[in-house]
Structure 1
């Protein structure tokens, strides 16, 4: 079959070449339309309870993860030199498209009792622009007398000040966000230049935008680096520019196909799918090496034995032999690699589904690209020269292969003992593995994104959103039952006592502010109104707002702020909390403590208390991805095992093939455990990826072993020796390409991508060793047991 296919490819070469060119042009056009995307919540299925609760919350109260925070730390804040530029900064930021609202000290309001109208009026504290020092001092004294803003807009101990920008979700989730964030950073740079005060930036809109931009830049960098590195390695191996260009042509077409696939499937380029183009290069190059290696071997054979045969016919025979011998091998190698990636599509996580579908499809497309393009181009190229095939007799590599042969034949017991010891040590390390991920743990700890986030955690206890909704199960249950308000205040005090949680914003904070205003602005009265206070205070709670030309400077910001903490039926109360990025390991315990206290204060039979928000969605998404990846490893093993069983039709060979590939995974898991590398979405990904790629080495070795067995009168030992020498060089070369390709990822700015690089490289090094030393030893040992029986 494969011989006929090789002849057909040569016969219909022009038609196939035109067809491949047309399809490549079409996919290149689609690929140019691929867009960037970065969303945390897409890790959870749409029908998951956590996602349903989160979506219902957003419908009722709006997006929770759309706050961008600007922070400074200075003891000269209330001076003309800093305060007036800060006022200008707020005014300039308000004008930027995509910025809906800003809460900051220059726009802060005070509640003032108007006895005549029996209303509480919200008046701006800082009215004139620009302000002289006397006006700033007067406003500062008034502002600092308002406990409502303490911990929200300023930290009196550390002299840190915060400005919150509410971003338009439609802008932040579209291409416009880059322009918006760039304009924000430009205004901040102007402020820094004018005041010489360093500004800190954080919040999910900012973090997502910056990371999405870095993803795009890294994808281009890794793609370019992997292509250049592959070009250098190929040139060193084959000493042939044409072989190098042919191989690069295959992988570049594969990259265009992958980008086109992302677009036509309606996906976006994410932190995961951005890895696919460089992976296509890394996986595609070994295809080319194995095809070219077999072509060169066949050509040498044809050159020595085909006396009197025309050169063109020799070349045709060598190409047909290449396809007939390597077609089935490359098919199953790509199939195994595709399975290693495609199993992610079996999970319920949208992010993993996309990665698995795109990677699995394009690895198989890569096989067809290689199968069509390589034989056709080789047919048009002149036959290889002596220098192009000299690598087949690399004396240094042959000496190493001789050593491998001796170890497999004479030192099998030692090989098994060393392997057993390593597996025991690695297994002990796997018990030390912990699952832990942070929202920004993929960036280095010296990165400005990370250091700025830690600034807000240190001074304001964090900026990660957590939302708590208390359903009283009764209409007007929040406002008409004083006991419910007291319970909310008690729960708020518990939350404030937690070191990881900032002071929550809720209706009771508005009531405390109103009580302070009712008692002539005395800050000692900033407390929960008593049941006796409420009747006298109720008449003041309908706050009056000023007209645009009102000289009092009234503002409705406070009214809008407080009104967001109840639903329209006043049945539900919302507590909005900012918290530190504590990681998925500590977060469940923190949330369990919150839920326990909530149910103590709000009994389940009378209230419904739900915790939601981006932090919860992130936690559940991380769990979901990790569990999905664990499942995918199981399915990958099962499907690859079935492929191996179909290919070799022998349980003995199946067992021999799986052991050398399970051991590298166990060793990698052990290294992670001993090195303290946590399990998280990016690191769990390593196991399926490495399994799918490492099994290639086993397939190539065993297919060659099976093909040679009949030529050596079924003598296993002689066949193993021959297989070590015939496939060893190409296995070592391709392993070097794969390892070098993944080492590129070690230069990533994302911790997860960096871990993917070095851990996958370690797995591939181990897999190469086990397949060239342990696998031959197993084949010989199992065959001897069979002979004894």
Structure 2
């Protein structure tokens, strides 16, 4: 069958190569249109409760991960030259397309009580008329510091650290325009930093996601170039033939183009996982080429005829390569059986393209070789390489004469791997794939030190009925108790809720007395009733257009059934985060009767944790599926349970050793490392099948089992 297939491929090589060229051109056109994904919640199934809760939150309260933060640490913040430049920076950032609003010290407002009208007016604390001189600025700064609302939100009074919050349009964050916006802001900040000679820190999910996505794009190019360069070097050293090297590189290049084209055809985008598919194509495609070319050279020596050698190449290596690619494809395609969209996309595209790589190799390699000159003796000299033969002889000796030693060493290695596996931890951080010296990482740590982090944590308190008002005094006190609990956690920054707005109003009602910054009691609410309606400020602007009222209006829904508590927290990792969330949930249950209230913890921090869980669990499921399906392939191929068991052992051992090495090396199991196991399994299966198929092909002609093993090792 395979010999006939080889003859058919050669007979119709021009047609097949033309079809391959046309298909590759089409795939190249599709590949040029593929885009990068900026979504970070797609690791979670769309029917997952956490995903649904997060989407409901976004629909009602808007995006939670669109805040970019800017931080400086200086004692000269209210020095007029610095403050004026900082205010200009804020104004310039506001003008950037996509920036919706900026919350910072120069834009801070206060509430002014007017006894004659019994209203509160919103007054800018740092209007131009109030900061004309250094003395006036000092006076405005004194009033600003008397407002506890801003303490630990816009500044840290203990360390002289100052924060600016930049809210970026949510729709824009899902497009490549985010790179332009973040780049523009970064350029302005760099210019400010140079002018003032002060280090400026930038962080927040918009910055982290944008820069990480950009790095993935750039590093993908370098990784591809590196893998191509290394493959070319190995091929040149091995075959000593430029044509063989270029032929192999052409195969994997076509495979890479097809992988990107497949992404776009299937409606997918480049993600952290799918970006790994092109290098996988290189890793799997190069061995295909080496095995085909090696068999071609061996057959040419035997037959001294190019056509016969090509037919034998397909006949002998076609079935081997097919089942190797099928098994490798299964190893990755099983991710498509998980419930995570991110893993499903990766599994579908990786599995399909690894399988397509076989057909590309089957058409391209024999077809092109048929037009080239027969290989010269120097191209086949590697077959007699003394160093290679010496190592093969050693492998032969070890496998046949030192089996007990090999078994003993394997057991010892597995024992060590078992200890290493006990040390293996499953933990992920949002930025843990960045070097500890990277500015993204160090800037994040600055905000964690000064403001307890920037990762969004959202809590929604629901009264379960539109008839039950969340703004009753009893509910106000409960919400404030939960806010105070959160504020007391060392890993959670200052929470914001409507209760903080009420405290702000109460302080203004009592003539700005700092001691009056507290939740209003029943008597306060009666006296403050008329003052709670915020009117136009002195400039005649509507209150809802002011940054303060705009901020506070986002914390209670229009029906007054739900209230939002928003906080930023440290990137504590997926191991500590569940414990923190559980403690918050327990405290919430103590404050809010679960039969009358529903308290939902959501936000990017929660979805990150849930996504990490699904990816890790998806790995476990996929490995089990892979072994089951590959076992069926092995059973069909060899029709022997004994060979099946023998073939599975060499695949299990590398996985156990990989897990052990990760444990000893301190490499945690996380979304960015789970694919190590799939790659390990794919390589192990590839080697196992090639060896066993070669062994099976020579059973009839080999004089003994030992002779067949020796021949297989050297083939």
Q: CA deviation at 1:187?
A: 1.0
SS in 1 for 2:511: coil
Question: 5 Å matches for 1:350-499?
Answer: 350-475=341-466, 477-478=468-469, 481-499=472-490
Query: In the alignment, which residue of structure 1 is the partner of 2:614?
Result: 624
Three-state SS of the structure 1 residue aligned to 2:166 is strand
8 Å CA contact 1:127, 1:553 repeated in 2? no
Alpha-carbon contact 1:44-1:51 (below 8 Å) kept: yes
2:92 aligns with 92
- 8 Å CA contact 1:340, 1:693 repeated in 2: no
The CA deviation at 1:601 is 0.8
Give the 3 Å change call, closer, same or farther, for CA 549–516 of structure 1 in structure 2: closer
Is the 8 Å Cα contact of residues 147 and 514 (structure 2) preserved in structure 1? yes
Alpha carbons 2:470, 2:562 under 8 Å: kept? no
Q: Report what 1:753 is aligned to.
A: none
Whether contact under 8 Å (2:255, 2:281) holds in the other structure is yes
Q: How does 1:546-565 map to 2 (within 5 A)?
A: 546=537, 556-565=546-555
Checking the alignment, whether the CA contact within 8 Å between 1:545 and 1:556 is kept in structure 2 is no
Q: Separation in 2 of the partners of 1:554 and 1:670?
A: 59
Matches within 5 A, 1:231-242: 231-242=232-243
Q: Confirm or deny: 8 A CA contact 1:636 1:688 kept in the other structure.
A: no
- Residue 647 (structure 2) aligned to one of 654, 657, 660: 657
C-alpha separation between the residues in 2 aligned to 1:108 and 1:352? Answer: 45
Q: Of 700, 703, 726, which aligns to 2:690?
A: 700
Residues 476, 539 of structure 1: alpha-carbon distance in 2 compared, 3 angstrom cutoff: farther
SS in 2 for 1:161: strand
SS in 2 for 1:499: coil
Q: Summarize the Cα distance change of 1:42–1:555 in structure 2 as closer, same or farther, 3 Å threshold.
A: closer
CA RMSD of aligned residues (A): 1.4
The one of 492, 495, 500 aligned to 1:504: 495
**1:248 & 1:475 partners in 2: Cα distance?**
65
The corresponding residue for 1:275 is 276
| TM-aligned CA distance change 1:474 to 1:418, over 3 Å | same
Partner residue in 1 for 2:708 = 719
Name which of structure 1's ranges 36-45 and 88-97 shifts more when overlaid on structure 2: 36-45
Compute the displacement of 1:183 (Å): 0.9
Q: 1:555 Cα shift?
A: 6.3
C-alpha distance in 2, partners of 1:117/1:258? 69
Deviation at 1:468, TM superposition (A): 0.5
Deviations 1:555-578 (A, max 9, x none): 622111111111111111110111
Partner of 2:260: 259
Corresponding residue number in structure 2 for 1:311 = none
The answer to whether the aligner puts 1:160 opposite 2:169 as a matched pair is no
Alignment of 1:90-239 (within 5 A): 90-128=90-128, 131-239=132-240
Q: Equivalents in 1 of 2:415, 2:638: separation in Å? A: 30
Counterpart CA distance in 1 for 2:558 and 2:503 is 21
Deviations along 1:688-724, whole A, 9 cap, x unmatched?
Answer: 22102221111111111111111124x2111111111
Partner of 2:662: 672
Moved more, 473-482 or 616-625: 473-482
CA distance in 2: counterparts of 1:154 and 1:397, whole angstroms: 67
The answer to whether structure 1 residue 18 and structure 2 residue 18 are counterparts is: yes
Any conservation in 2 of the 1:106–1:126 contact (CA below 8 Å)?
A: yes
CA shift for structure 1 position 532:
1.4
Question: C-alpha separation between the residues in 2 aligned to 1:651 and 1:480?
Answer: 70
Other structure's SS at 1:709 match: coil
Aligned to 1:732: none
String of CA shifts for 1:487-518, please: whole Å, max 9, x gaps: 11111111111101112100111111111101
**Paired position in structure 2 for 1:29:** 29
Q: Deviations over 1:503-559 (max 9, x none)?
A: 210011111111110110011111111221110012111001237557x99962211
1:364 alignment partner, SS class: helix
Deviation at 1:72, TM superposition (A): 0.6
Please name the residue that 1:341 is paired with: 332
Distance 1:547 1:359, change over 3 A: farther
Q: TM-score if structure 2 supplies the norm length?
A: 0.98
Decide whether the 8 Å contact of 1:478 with 1:485 is kept in 2.
no
Q: Quick check: 1:84–1:131 contact (8 Å CA) kept in 2?
A: no
Shift of 1:622: 0.4
Per the alignment, residue 740 of structure 1 pairs with none
CA distance in 1, matches of 2:408, 2:469: 70
**1: CA distance, partners of 2:668 / 2:151:** 37
TM-score (norm 1): 0.89
Q: SS at the partner of 1:266? A: coil
Is residue 344–residue 628 contact of structure 1 (8 Å, CA) maintained in 2?
yes
Aligned to 2:286: 285
Partner of 1:755: none
Asked if the contact 2:536–2:543 (Cα under 8 Å) also holds between the matched residues in 1, the reply is no
Instruction: Please give the residue correspondences for 1:730-741 in structure 2 after superposition, counting only pairs within 5 Å.
Output: none
The Cα offsets for residues 192-238 of structure 1, whole Å up to 9 and x where unpaired, read as: 12111111111111111111111110111111111111111111111
CA distance in 2 between partners of 1:114 and 1:695 (Å): 79
Take 2:248 and 2:607, find their aligned partners in 1: how far apart are those partners? Answer: 43
Displacement of 1:478 after TM fit?
Answer: 4.3
SS at match of 2:534: coil
Contact 1:110-1:122 at 8 Å conserved across structures: yes
Contact between 1:122 and 1:555, CA under 8 Å: does it hold in 2? no
> Secondary structure at the residue paired with 1:493?
helix
- Structure 2 segments unaligned to the other structure (5+ residues): none
Equivalent residue, structure 2, for 1:64: 64
Report the Cα distance in structure 1 between the residues aligned to 2:208 and 2:274, rounded to whole angstroms: 19
Q: 1:480 to 1:401 in 2, by over 3 A?
A: closer
Contact 1:124 1:554 in 2 (8 A): no
* Equivalent-residue separation in structure 1 for 2:467 and 2:204 (angstroms): 34
Runs of at least 5 residues in structure 1 that lack an aligned partner in the other structure:
304-313, 727-789
Corresponding residue pairs, total: 714
Residue 389 of structure 1 aligns to a residue whose secondary structure is helix
Structure-2 separation of matches of 1:607 and 1:666:
47
Contact 1:437 1:583 in 2 (8 A): yes
Query: Contact 2:122–2:538 at 8 Å: present in 1 too?
Result: no
Distance in 2 between the 1:103 and 1:120 partners?
Answer: 21
User: Secondary structure of 1:600's partner?
Assistant: helix
Q: Deviations over 1:252-293 (max 9, x none)?
A: 111110110111111111111111112211211110000000
